[in-house]
Chains A and B, each alone.
Chain A
């Protein structure tokens, strides 16, 4: 037997390991230091989705992961190839998304010599990953890959980067492909202790006016069934964070929709009137609490989270449990006594009636963004996976495209990454080929990753790009209007291309909507189109997202309409 033929190199073993982990797609962009890996991929059943920019690859992997719950895999080369993924890795880290990023690296002998396309990617990425590796022995590859997949999608998920020098992936592999993981410091708690469950149940059973606050963690732990059970058993309303959309059906009468800075008025009113907040997999961030010192001081707080470091980070809870939300809720529900809370639910109904979420139509048949998003919602009956960028369109989509099912809202929450929505939609469509995937994007963000039009067309992915074009960076402009006396600085998107022509240049179908009279028909036609398409909706230039809680202020400072007096620039965050 010819022994030469049976020895694989590091890259081939790497691909074997990825296959073993069930990887279907790799989102990547090639380059010198990654040559051995791309060569090994040539013989693999894993499909390479070649992108047009590494940032696109990382967002695609992210969208794939959020739509399927499986880690997305990125493969890029060293130096600029790797640094171009940094935004995408940070986006995944902020939103707890499982992702494996494989980066080529210069040969080990040249590390630290400023070699061609050398960057200290291990060091650069350290602050924005759950964990990372620089592999210095070919024999370590199987163990590192096994550990990376374990770390990325257990506990609180997050990206793991593996930096792979070219000599390490080229060298013959002589180790054990089944080598065990060595993670003595890694703890992923699942079950909470009985005492925490008792403490939470006692608070709940004593509460007359509870509100459930469902965050992304409720979705990550696949606890939407348990959230519903808890809500119905308690007879309590459910609000959700931006990333918690889908943890509880937003079209249900018990849903308050999203809370916080641009949340519904009735959600924020409920937060101010409740006596107990049951936070499930949420991190009480500044978009939700406004100001943690003033956040619902009269309400008790329960916090359920798998990450011990989240407990007490921003809001000090009165009771908490650390572990998997699904398992914790299953235990908790057993301890809940049925209490009549009809009075509280009537109050919630009254809030909804007095402060409804609505929008006004503009005159002369000009389009508003809200109207366009609402039309897309109605045309699909809400049955679609929606991805977004960040900004006004994102907030309007969160408000008016109600999410009823898990894994159908994919948005850059913590990071607020422009250019995320469209590539994320490509990844989501690959993961869920049967679903309608709509990327609701703004004219600013879309241009950051629009080169991926090629990727959608080449792979025949029928994503629908709903481009809300107001020719401004709208949310920043809104701040400048309200707080800075209309001194518009760095927000005008003058020189936007003809987006329909742009789509056509890449071989993609384009639709234009300018007037409300044609909205319904064009939207229906575009969404029914079998291939990928871009729907360019030209909306009024200056419109603001309300309700709005100025950054750093408490929820009772919520504005429902434009302020009549000049507002001071808020001190809190951005």
Chain B
């Protein structure tokens, strides 16, 4: 089943590999991937389209969140993306715990 993940992470060397390793280890494939840097390239945002066993999806999100570089990892609902400013509503850095 296709799922979408929105990720915000500190743009450090290797962060994309770490994200890919979490997915690979749990049998998830990446169908599409788009990244964008912001705040003078200090942070990145990634939108992922992935497929894999649905029962492992929550674990994938948790393991992504656990990465030291990752600020947040959320399931992204495409239908909500039409709403203006939805992407920006995903909290960034300072106000995220």
Chain A residues proximal to chain B, CB less than 8 Å: 122-123, 126-127, 130-132, 134, 136, 151, 182-187, 189, 307-309, 311-313
Contact = CB atoms under 8 A, between A and B. Distances in A.
A308 B72 CA distance: 13
Contacts of B62: 308-309, 311, 313
Contacts of B59: 309, 312-313
A171 B25 CA distance: 38
Given A122-B14, A184-B71, A187-B97, A308 B21 contact: no
17 contacts: A122-B14, A123-B14, A126-B17, A127-B25, A136-B13, A182-B10, A184-B43, A184-B93, A185-B9, A185-B68, A185-B69, A185-B70, A187-B65, A189-B97, A307-B66, A308-B62, A311-B62
Interface of B: 9-10, 13-14, 17-18, 21, 25, 43, 58-59, 62-63, 65-71, 93-94, 97
A309 B21 CA distance: 16
Contacts of A311: 62
B14 A184 contact: no
A307 B69 CA distance: 16
A126 B19 CA distance: 11
A166 to B, nearest CB: 18
Nearest to A131: B68
A130 B69 CA distance: 11
B10 A185 contact: yes
Given A126-B18, A184-B10, A184-B93, A309 B68 contact: no
A185 B13 contact: no
A191 to B, nearest CB: 12
Contacts of A183: 10, 68
Contacts of B65: 187, 308-309
Given A126-B21, A127-B25, A309 B66 contact: yes
Contacts of B10: 182-185
A182 to B, nearest CB: 7
Nearest to B17: A126
Contacts of A182: 10
Nearest to A187: B97
A186 B18 contact: no
Nearest to B9: A185
Contacts of B63: 309
